[in-house]
Chain A
Amino acid sequence: MAEIVIHNLRKDFGDFTAVRSSSFKIADGEFFMLLGPSGCGKTTTLRMIAGLELPTSGEIFIDGEEVGQKPASQRDIAFVFQMFALYPHMNVRKNISYPLVSQGMPRAEIREKVAEVARILGIESIIDRPVGGLSGGDRQRVALGRAIVRNPKCFLMDEPLGALDAEFRERMAEELRALHDRMGATTVYVTHDQLEAMQMGDKIVVMNHGAIEQFGTPRDIYDKPATMFVADFIGSPSMNFLKFHGSLEAGATEVRLHHQTLGVPVLREPFDGDMVYGVRPEHVRLSDAAGYRGEVIATEYLGTTQIVTLKSPNGEVKARIASDQVARVGETVGLDFNSATVTLFDDQSGRAIRSDLNEGILAHG
């Protein structure tokens, strides 16, 4: 098992820069998520860690050893592909034993190991079947088996659940996490599904346009987004953005939007210009006492909660409130924002303005 350190990693494909100077550290035994929209460079980053792409510049350390320019076969890592990539001309047993054959392990030992892996994954009954006829979940298990059979330094997974049906995905996600907890292996997992990342990851890196937007625990990333992109990408519905113009001193605790005073966490830096008041839907309450008002334009019933969409003077606001609370379309209601959770953003650059809430998070963002 190993620690992975990425330092100033960059990858160009001709004129196109897929990954621009990324740096982050994956601790030993961590379940690490690379999250971002398609084309953000997350898969390229993973493939560079695997050795399937060579970086244009920068370094990759696995277990303290610089492996950036080494071929994949010498890195002692396992890779789980989105499309499984099981060898179609071999049966399940041969697929799982294939990495061991390359190491020249004696046959008896291979049999033993494969049997053990099959038991862990619950695929003993299909061990002599050809891979062609297997269900999606079973193929995924075989692919995992091929990965864990030789105790690699780390597991790299490229959207391994992406090809599965929704119901299966849930179950495999749990299985994967349980497997990780049991083996304690460093795992790097690429996904574009923010829920999957939040649900399974110890740490998350959010990428966009080849650059890292934020790096941290799921909770930090959700509560204290470093950029508007992260705030928007994570959470469903995503964070509300109210645009306004103002001038703030360091130490300020409130801002003025549309002639109303709204609270913010104590600011740690001054700012002057166009800003965005960011608040998550679950931190918006409908309250007649509040001075800031909006008109209800839609409601969505979701069982225990409902999403109320309102039109406010600074833009559209979504509120997640208890489903028994009454909100009628066309009504104008007061909006009360939980000021301790608010993040202010610079509207130009999209970066979060430092405050008591996110101080320390932004430092290594």
Chain B
Amino acid sequence: MSSFSVTEPSDRQKWIAGILVVGYALITLMPLIWILATGFKSSPDAIAYPPKVLFEPTLEGYVNLFTTQTRQTPEYLEANPPTTWYEEIVHDKGMVIAGPSRFGGRFLNSVIIGFGSTFLSVFLGTLAAYAFSRYRIPLKDDLMFFILSTRMMPPIAVAIPIFLMFRSLGLSDTHAGMILLYTAVNLSLSVWLLKGFMDEIPREYEEAALIDGYTRFQAFCKVVLPQATMGIAATAIFCLIFAWNEYAFAVLLTSGNAQTAPPFIPTIIGVGGQDWPAVAAGATIFLLPVMVFTILLRKHLLRGITFGAVRK
């Protein structure tokens, strides 16, 4: 039997392979599972030693994450019984809800900045990639190299000039500033990735559309774009993951108005002792959009839509 056997694996081999795969998945997912679990633990359970694997789930962490609370006298608590489930959780600790926390706003900032810059990177990248792929542009190779060269050092290396520029342009701590910054960083990746995908799309499709009476722009929208969905989806995922997770620039350039979730989550630790369940709840919620986005676009990544339409 060669190493590239085409025979059907035996049951025993399937079992071994299955155990290996599940085991590997468990090991890599452990931190994630731990975070997820911690979000539903009570504060004492979260720091219990030895660690608790089985525990009584509570939403305390999530309530703490989204609200600010103040301690009240027993008389006050007696006089104002809780009306909702989350008030009840707080009530049991001898506290009342004073208002919403800042997490909601920070999370919204992350969504606006992350998806905004992703959209802009992919939009501009698609147009640029199409032009680079289809037209005879003077110094094309030099321009492509120039675009790539913007990625040759880590973006944070230019943090100080950018900080100064943002300050004089009034872009510090603004959504627009962060969207522009992340777009600038992502654009080279986006142009290069998308150009590769565009090059793969045969010109004949657009030419057929031109002959069929469509303008160049209509041909681009109706024939090229549907062919490029796969590439656009893949590029969008990469751009979003970068913008979503970015920490260093967010710390440096945002403080309030446009602060994203990554620099905010660690600050929860300091509010009223080390509230690990709240931090874990924040991390869990922070993970969700990218996971959902990736899962939604996954079918585009896998679907070979151009298969068989052109004979090569």
Q: Given A52-B210, A72-B207, are A85 and B310 also a contact pair (CB < 8 Å)?
A: yes
Q: Does B311 touch A at the CB level, under 8 Å?
A: yes
A85: chain B residues at CB < 8 Å are: 202, 204-205, 207-208, 310
Q: Does A41 touch B at the CB level, under 8 Å?
A: no
Q: Quick check: A52 and B310 within 8 Å, CB to CB?
A: no
Q: Quick check: A88 and B309 within 8 Å, CB to CB?
A: yes
Q: Quick check: A84 and B213 within 8 Å, CB to CB?
A: no
B202: chain A residues at CB < 8 Å are: 83, 85
A81: chain B residues at CB < 8 Å are: 204, 207-208
- Count residues of chain A with CB under 8 A from any CB of chain B: 28
A237 to B216 CA separation, bound complex (whole angstroms): 46
Q: Given A89-B226, A89-B305, A98-B212, are A83 and B311 also a contact pair (CB < 8 Å)?
A: yes
Q: Quick check: B210 and A51 within 8 Å, CB to CB?
A: yes
CB contact between B215 and one of A73, A103, A132 (< 8 Å): that residue: A73
Q: Does A50 touch B at the CB level, under 8 Å?
A: yes
A81 to B205 CA separation, bound complex (whole angstroms): 10
Q: Does B49 touch A at the CB level, under 8 Å?
A: no
Q: Quick check: A50 and B309 within 8 Å, CB to CB?
A: no
Return the chain A residue nearest B215 by Cβ. A73
Return the chain B residue nearest A89 by Cβ. B226
A51: chain B residues at CB < 8 Å are: 210-211
Q: Quick check: B207 and A79 within 8 Å, CB to CB?
A: yes
CB contact between B212 and one of A83, A88, A89, A146 (< 8 Å): that residue: A146
Q: How far is the CB of B274 from chain A (nearest CB, A)?
A: 54
A132: chain B residues at CB < 8 Å are: 307-309
A78: chain B residues at CB < 8 Å are: 211
Q: Does B227 touch A at the CB level, under 8 Å?
A: yes
Q: Known A-B contacts: A73-B210, A98-B209. Give 17 more (CB < 8 A).
A: A51-B210, A52-B207, A72-B210, A73-B213, A81-B207, A81-B208, A83-B311, A84-B309, A84-B311, A85-B202, A85-B204, A87-B209, A87-B223, A87-B309, A88-B205, A88-B305, A132-B307
Q: Which residues of B contact A (CB under 8 A)?
A: 202, 204-205, 207-216, 218, 223, 226-227, 305-312
Enumerate the 9 nearest inter-chain pairs by beta-carbon distance, A residue then B residue, closest first. A88-B309, A85-B204, A102-B213, A132-B308, A99-B212, A72-B210, A85-B208, A79-B211, A89-B226
